[in-house]
Structure 1
Amino acid sequence: MDAIREMLLRPVNAVSSLLDVRDRPQYRLHVITGDRRGAGTDANVYVVLHDIHGRATRPLASNKVFRNDNERGATTTVDISTDEGLQGPIIKVEVWRDNFADIKLFSAISGALFGQKSKRGSASWFLDRIEIEEVIPQNNNTLASDDNLCEGVEENGIGGETPVTVHKAPGGGRVWVFPLQRWVAAHKKYTIHLHDCFLPQHDPDKERRAGDIQGKRELYKYEQKVKGGPAQIENLPSDEKFSEEYYWTFATEKLNLLAKTKLIEWTTNKWRTLDDLRKVYNESLGEPKCMSVWQEDWWFGLQRLQGVNPNVIAACKKIPEKFAVTEETVSGLLDDMSLAEALEKNKLFICDLEITEGLPHKDNAELASPFALFYLNKEDKLLPVAIQLKQQGGADNPVYTPKDPANTWLVAKMFYNNAEAQHHQALTHLGYTHLLMEGVVICTHRNLSPSHPLFKLMAPHFLFLLAINTRGLEKLVSPGGWVDNCMTQGLEGIFEHMRRGFERWSFEREGQVEKELEARGVLDKDILPYYPYRDDAIPLYNAIKKYVGTIVRHHYDTPDKLSGDYELKWWREELVKPRDQNGVGLKDIPGNAEEGFTSVEQVVDTISSIISICSLGHAAANFQQYEQYSFVPNYPGILFGEIPKEKRNYTEEDLMALLPSKRMTLDIMVITKLLSNRGTKSLGDFEMQYLYDPVGVNAAKEFQKDLKRLSLEMKKRNIDRQWEFEWLDPEIVPNSISV
């Protein structure tokens, strides 16, 4: 303790005595305004700095005459002279603003002198953080070269006060960071302690903290917009709206895609031939790779292992009674094995889409509820051997196999994929990522203060999620929208599908990657050797869990810290509360109602799951949508006509009659292309920094190293894969669900 105290005070004592007064380090104040809509202000901003010795500066104005300071996303810098008497470390700052309203005069003067205009007509201000930089004089070689003053030193509790941490600035001095990340009201003084990262029971400003949460509960309110549906936001808070840059990038991309298709004659007519359909891709948005292989059985098998919906395939231990597969059905399709031998040797796998049975659907498009049986052959390739398009076998519901006429078998595969596409959009994509996490985001804002380390840990993974959900429901999942027009289940069907799925979702199964794989019997590589989704998802999930664990275990290093965290108890309580009672309705979250989380590992697992769903879960389900959906026969979101009831042969004309019109095909192409574009940064490269304490900063750096290593490993694996699978490469996976 004495050694650390001596080191922290050396600029005041041992070193400063050797220097002339004019060579003492000065300080530089950096005021960083947040990059969100309406964040800037023309008000007068004042800051007071406090050092560890109890000294404080006079109020320092963070404004310069005739300058548009404190604007959105901008940094305002003020030099602090030695006359202020500070002798760091700096442990807290005070900040406030007035309600300056003479905007017109200011705009006129600044416009006349500098050609600038005030960007805002009010004094609203979102302060991201304040940084205090120690400026080392150029002739002060002693301080500039003394690394001990500048490397992550933490002293927990000098005199029982706030931890002091020293970070190195580019100029060799120290930097102290004071994040606020809140809206600053006029004439209200805000005290920000170093790093602003406290469990609620340890926060020196509990009154402000309680006010923050109460304010958030007024802004973030639940609404169950569909009966039995997910918990959603009642009204989108302004803080959650897209940044102007992101919004215009998104809108411009859609216009660009539409422009690329403008020379093609898109009508409500049907396609005449498959060749006619193939031609339009090179002339517009690009040819998906599957176009040359979509009819192949090996490709149909690969879709289960590395397509957009890789969470359905399961080990088959017994043929379901409703699935009318017999030895005769698959004779000759299992190499030299009988059906019984293939089952015993774990060579059979099944997809059962019972959940789609009886779903509402469009009047002119029936929806299957199929079984599909797959065989792992001697070359370890997964091949389809039987498909039944409805749950209950019978004379009008035959089992289709590769022994049937080519187009008969092809149509069975298309109707299976059509049913799975409904499952993909309703659950794997929209339901289990976008909408499930919407409730979690609302719950987090309502119960965890922005000063809570767990809020700071999760917040980067919530970026734009509420905004994209709000926009998506308005444009895509609405009457007359894309889902209503271009999916067999239509609007009514997708919401019923989601309701069924939410009733089944469990944290103990779907919430954790390895447990979900284990539940389907496909975790073991000896059982299913080739499974790119599994082989990339597990190490990525483990990297996330390592990162989360480092931070969570640091902040809950004693049992009393966990048991005393009342905000965490509120958070868990609302996560499990039923959706019709203003909760998120998540099932099987660890812990109990009386104590909340009962171990640190339960907290690690829960937060790892949330970050995983927001990153790798969404990436796996979303970014190859154009590759799978755009060439409609490959993975049809909609097919017209009745489900086949007999094994009749199909002509090409019959096949084309099943497909959507040219106009509908365009809609599918443009929307899936738009959804497949990534608009935010890669996982670990955070758009907004929240954690500034040394443990959080170092954990993030280690996380980034792990992700870089994983990216290289995944690229190497792709060299030898049957088909490239890049969708869980950390360079591809974003931090959040923002598209």
Structure 2
Amino acid sequence: MGNALKKADYIVRVKTGNLVGAGTDADVHIILYNESGQASKSIELDSSGNDFERNHVDSFSVYNLPDFGGIATIELWRDSWLGDQWYVDYVEIEDVAQKKFYPFPIQRWITRRHLKIDKYDSSLPQFARHPEQRRLELDRELHKYQFVVVNEGLPPSAAAIPRSEQFSLPYKLTLLAFNLKSKLSAFLNGLVSSDWKDLEDVHNIFGGNLHRPLNLEFWNQDWFFGAQRLMGCNPNQIRLCTGIPDNFGVTNDMIGHLLDNMSLDEAISNKRLFIVDHKILDGITTQDPESVLCAPIGLFFMNKEDELMPVAIQLFQQKSDDNPVFLPTNAPYTWMLAKMYFNNADACIHECATHLLFTHVVMECFCVASHRRLSASHPIFRLLEPHFQFMITITHLATPVLLDPGSALDNMMTGGRDVAFKILLRSWKEWRFDVNGTLPKDMEARGVENQEVIFNYPYRDDAMLTYTAIKAYVTTIVQGHYDEPEKLTNDWEIQDWIKELVTPAPLGFGIKGIPITGDQFTNTNEVIEVITTTIFICSVGHAAVNFNQYDEYASPLRYPLFLRGQPPKSAQIELTEADILQHLPSKDLALEAAVLSKTLSSHGTTSLGDFSELFQADPISIPALQEFRKTLKEIGKVIDTKNGERKAEYPYLHPSGLPNAISI
């Protein structure tokens, strides 16, 4: 009887990945191993169609294996075609008679080498059933994922972009089309005039693909300037004020009437006063005498309406006659310009440190170390890998945009690349994984962890919901795999991983403040803290400082990346609208900034917990992932309710819009 009239014993489904060049025309073969270790014959996977095309699932029927039983292992390879590559997402075996399914996550480039993959492909190294294959795979990854110190005093980065890290073709085309549409809109919007007529004209640049930014109507209101500390691009700078710095010239006589009938001391004692001190910028000068970078101090008061109101701004660190304290009671345009210079300094710190360094650059270290030290079969690798998708590629594309001479941000950010390098070097010296990088610790260190202190803090409130969900998800998986202490102690892969991360450059990545004992993990709590923070930064942390860039930076009035001229040196001079216009960047430069921030704010990958590849299939991870997804849906409902009550919208940390990885 021919196979056409027979019922298949097994169905083999193969998902070819979505990377560029993932498909193959080579002949593909598979051997099935049952739970007793018995092997089938070599089976050629071939159908009448065009098999193994990129991002496609192919199904193949297997006959003459009655009563073969459950499938424990597969052996997969392809014939050697010169230059032909094949990237496989997963293989699934269906036992037709028993209606059982056996998943085999792959996420590898398949060569003519025979690759054996166990069901779930998730095991600690000490329990590996194919230890020699695992060792050889790691050796190859160690060679492909080399790292190098490009800039002394900063973390190392990947020496090259490995093939598996390159953008998928659809993702690349989406970004290109998005960027071209934005540039076309900017060009058309800029045809009207090259000069600003008035403040209203500044916001006439929006139209077409350059839509009107969210909350733009509030840009000049003091309560919104305060809210930008809590929901803007740089929402982790505000801290509880426990004392007025000696170099800050603010006095009780100046602002006592702005503090709800409290003195400065009373406002501090009642935890109603907050401060942003950008002393890290002190002494950083620009090479352009027509553009000045301030190092401001801002004082904010939480009023009876739970609004964070700015009450004093000093634009430089040292007190002097020409460095006054600006107040909301100053002339309107004078106060407006002081706020703009404050935001300009804040924007420079955000782009260089908060965004580029503390998400892209730091997390690239974790990505590279994971590929070098954790087998693709390691459960922690499988937990982390969805959150590293496209990270190396985007970081290698983004860094030149900021740091190369003549690059976009070199031209449109105050001080350009020279200022950027100084901010990066200073910031990296101070940053610690267990404080600045870990959400609860960061909030605690700044004294803003409690709603009793700041009731409405959108970044904290929304981020903490998802941080808690991530930690519960990670805890289940980590404790499930390390259910006995010696399993962690004897896991040399994860110990090598964390050791390389904490070892100073150039031999390691030099990440400071990782909460471990010495250079090793000694308990699961340490593992949970590190993995939770890593996933959080790659998803929520990056989203919080990336996806609102267009809404904030598209208007040079609201959050200027670049200002011309000199900051005001007197709080008593009454500036005019014309003075504000003279400080703005040209219309062409403003449109370029809008296009760049629009592209950077685009979304390109799947939402948090929704993975584009089958990374996890084991009995520990699948229930944990299902519960995680359920929790994220509930968090989405909570945030929807919050945004319905907020004076200004904050959609950036809604789980439906949180990507898994830093991919833009």
Asked if 1:489 corresponds to 2:415, the answer is yes
Q: Corresponding residue for 1:75?
A: 57
User: Structure 2: how far apart are the matches of 1:687 and 1:288?
Assistant: 30
Counterpart code for 2:85 = S
Question: Could you give the per-residue CA deviations for residues 112-163 of structure 1, whole angstroms, max 9, x where no partner exists?
Answer: xxxxxxxxxx432223322110214xxxxxx6xxxxxxxxxxxxxxxxxxxx
Alignment of 1:126-137 (within 5 A): 126-136=87-97
Pick from 299, 303, 306 the counterpart of residue 380 of structure 1: 306
Shift of 1:412: 0.8
User: Structure 2: how far apart are the matches of 1:33 and 1:339?
Assistant: 65
Asked if 1:448 corresponds to 2:382, the answer is no
Pick from 12, 18, 22 the counterpart of residue 35 of structure 1: 18
Asked if 1:64 corresponds to 2:25, the answer is no
Asked if 1:531 corresponds to 2:457, the answer is yes
Q: Corresponding residue for 2:264?
A: 339
Counterpart code for 2:183 = L
Q: Corresponding residue for 2:161?
A: 236
Question: Could you give the per-residue CA deviations for residues 627-669 of structure 1, whole angstroms, max 9, x where no partner exists?
Answer: 1111111101011112222222211111111000011011011
Asked if 1:354 corresponds to 2:279, the answer is yes
User: Structure 1: how far apart are the matches of 2:472 and 2:108?
Assistant: 29
State whether residues 225 and 310 of structure 2, in contact with CA within 8 Å, keep that contact through their aligned partners in structure 1: yes
Asked if 1:124 corresponds to 2:80, the answer is no
User: Structure 2: how far apart are the matches of 1:445 and 1:359?
Assistant: 38
Q: Corresponding residue for 1:47?
A: 30
State whether residues 257 and 670 of structure 1, in contact with CA within 8 Å, keep that contact through their aligned partners in structure 2: yes
Q: Corresponding residue for 1:182?
A: 108
Pick from 536, 561, 566 the counterpart of residue 642 of structure 1: 566
Pick from 618, 637, 645 the counterpart of residue 720 of structure 1: 645
State whether residues 553 and 560 of structure 2, in contact with CA within 8 Å, keep that contact through their aligned partners in structure 1: yes
Counterpart code for 2:71 = I
Alignment of 1:277-356 (within 5 A): 277-282=202-207, 285-356=210-281
Counterpart code for 1:651 = T
Q: Corresponding residue for 1:98?
A: 79
Shift of 1:476: 4.4
Alignment of 1:78-227 (within 5 A): 78-81=60-63, 83-100=64-81, 122-136=83-97, 173-186=99-112, 188-227=113-152
Pick from 582, 588, 591 the counterpart of residue 657 of structure 1: 582
Q: Corresponding residue for 1:113?
A: none
User: Structure 2: how far apart are the matches of 1:265 and 1:292?
Assistant: 21
Asked if 1:263 corresponds to 2:188, the answer is yes
Question: Could you give the per-residue CA deviations for residues 344-383 of structure 1, whole angstroms, max 9, x where no partner exists?
Answer: 1111000000111122424121111011001111112111
State whether residues 232 and 435 of structure 1, in contact with CA within 8 Å, keep that contact through their aligned partners in structure 2: yes
Alignment of 1:438-517 (within 5 A): 438-517=364-443
Shift of 1:76: 2.5
Shift of 1:575: 0.7
- After superposition, the CA RMSD in angstroms is 1.8
State whether residues 89 and 613 of structure 2, in contact with CA within 8 Å, keep that contact through their aligned partners in structure 1: no
Identity in percent = 39
Q: Corresponding residue for 1:619?
A: 543
Q: Corresponding residue for 2:532?
A: 608
User: Structure 2: how far apart are the matches of 1:283 and 1:193?
Assistant: 52
User: Structure 2: how far apart are the matches of 1:542 and 1:133?
Assistant: 37
User: Structure 2: how far apart are the matches of 1:510 and 1:23?
Assistant: 63
User: Structure 2: how far apart are the matches of 1:460 and 1:506?
Assistant: 24
User: Structure 2: how far apart are the matches of 1:53 and 1:569?
Assistant: 33
Q: Corresponding residue for 1:366?
A: 292
Counterpart code for 1:627 = D
Shift of 1:582: 3.4
Question: Could you give the per-residue CA deviations for residues 293-329 of structure 1, whole angstroms, max 9, x where no partner exists?
Answer: 2111111111111111110110011101111111111
Question: Could you give the per-residue CA deviations for residues 424-481 of structure 1, whole angstroms, max 9, x where no partner exists?
Answer: 1111111111111111111111111101100000000001111111111234442111
Pick from 446, 452, 459 the counterpart of residue 520 of structure 1: 446
State whether residues 147 and 156 of structure 2, in contact with CA within 8 Å, keep that contact through their aligned partners in structure 1: yes
Cα 1:283–1:649 shift into 2, 3 Å:
farther
State whether residues 270 and 657 of structure 1, in contact with CA within 8 Å, keep that contact through their aligned partners in structure 2: no
Pick from 582, 607, 630 the counterpart of residue 554 of structure 2: 630
Aligned residues: 658
State whether residues 127 and 182 of structure 1, in contact with CA within 8 Å, keep that contact through their aligned partners in structure 2: yes
Shift of 1:100: 4.4
State whether residues 268 and 663 of structure 1, in contact with CA within 8 Å, keep that contact through their aligned partners in structure 2: no
Shift of 1:400: 0.7
Higher relative contact order (CA 8 A, sep 6+): 2
- Counterpart secondary structure, 1:127: strand
Question: Could you give the per-residue CA deviations for residues 200-247 of structure 1, whole angstroms, max 9, x where no partner exists?
Answer: 111111111111111111111112222212221111111111111000
State whether residues 55 and 86 of structure 1, in contact with CA within 8 Å, keep that contact through their aligned partners in structure 2: no
Question: Could you give the per-residue CA deviations for residues 242-270 of structure 1, whole angstroms, max 9, x where no partner exists?
Answer: 11100000001111112223333459944
Counterpart code for 2:169 = E
Shift of 1:342: 1.0
Asked if 1:542 corresponds to 2:525, the answer is no
Q: Corresponding residue for 1:684?
A: 609
- Counterpart secondary structure, 1:43: coil
State whether residues 57 and 85 of structure 1, in contact with CA within 8 Å, keep that contact through their aligned partners in structure 2: no
Unaligned runs of 5+ in 1: 1-21, 102-121, 137-142, 144-172
TM-score (norm 1): 0.87
Counterpart code for 1:330 = I
Asked if 1:578 corresponds to 2:504, the answer is yes
**581-590 vs 616-625, which deviates more?**
581-590
Unaligned runs of 5+ in 2: none
